[in-house]
Structure 1
């Protein structure tokens, strides 16, 4: 059983720049079946855009998807974890901050991401959350 985040994280996560149009972000999320993209500049994490951010911060306010940028809708108060952290530490951070995803940083460099689904697949592969996380995309 994995003990450290580095053993279950997705390395080289999908990233966009702060200037990326949200229409492009939405297409990336659809095409890659991700619920988040990380906003970075030269491997330094600047923010996170989730599918919920697109709905609540852009679509609900009728913002133009071609002129609205990642920096306009991203969450910049980001909870992160290190690759050498234990899985229990990641769970604690997710609970404490009510987040489903954690960017993984090594020093100031973005190196991966881990989701609550990744943890469920590792810790309880027979759970409903693990089943949902491993299911084929609903397109």
Structure 2
């Protein structure tokens, strides 16, 4: 059994709650510019405060570039992924990783009371697990060598 390494809320406390988003009415070109500007792989698509989808680099390559569509003429609403898998802050990191693996996604919006409170990537969660494991190893080494936990 895997020992719990924390919750999605713990990850968000560490990484921050910043969410990058676009309106469904912007062009794909504008969304790609924002991906590059913010150095992220996905943007939430928000209609006001309502999450209506997610737009990723994968959506662009598969639904625009490979189909010969124009990114300057295609609206995000035409190609966004509407079926968005979400987590809550109370989900464990392991639950988040499981959701991402089962649904073959790389970004997980975090929603509480129907409001987006953050987003985590698979990289965020893997880095969190690695960090937690490193801390556990240090504590065990300290214990074995007669040191006291810090």
Q: Structure 2-normalised TM-score? A: 0.78
1:53 match: 59
2:8 match: 5
- Contact 2:55–2:81, Cα closer than 8 Å, also in 1: yes
| Alignment deviations for residues 84-114 of structure 1 (CA, whole Å, 9 cap, x no partner) | 2111111121122121111111121111101
Gaps of 5+ in 2: 132-150
SS in 2 for 1:60: helix
1:133 match: none
Moved over 3 A (4+): none
Structure with larger Rg: 2
2:36 match: 30
- Contact 1:5–1:83, Cα closer than 8 Å, also in 2: yes
Aligned length: 127
For 2:38 and 2:59, the matched residues in 1 are separated by: 17
- Contact 1:2–1:8, Cα closer than 8 Å, also in 2: no
Task: Say what the alpha-carbon RMSD is for the aligned residues.
Answer: 2.0
Offset of residue 64 of structure 1? 1.8
For 1:79 and 1:93, the matched residues in 2 are separated by: 8
1:43 match: 49
- Contact 2:5–2:94, Cα closer than 8 Å, also in 1: no
For 2:58 and 2:102, the matched residues in 1 are separated by: 19
Gaps of 5+ in 1: 126-139
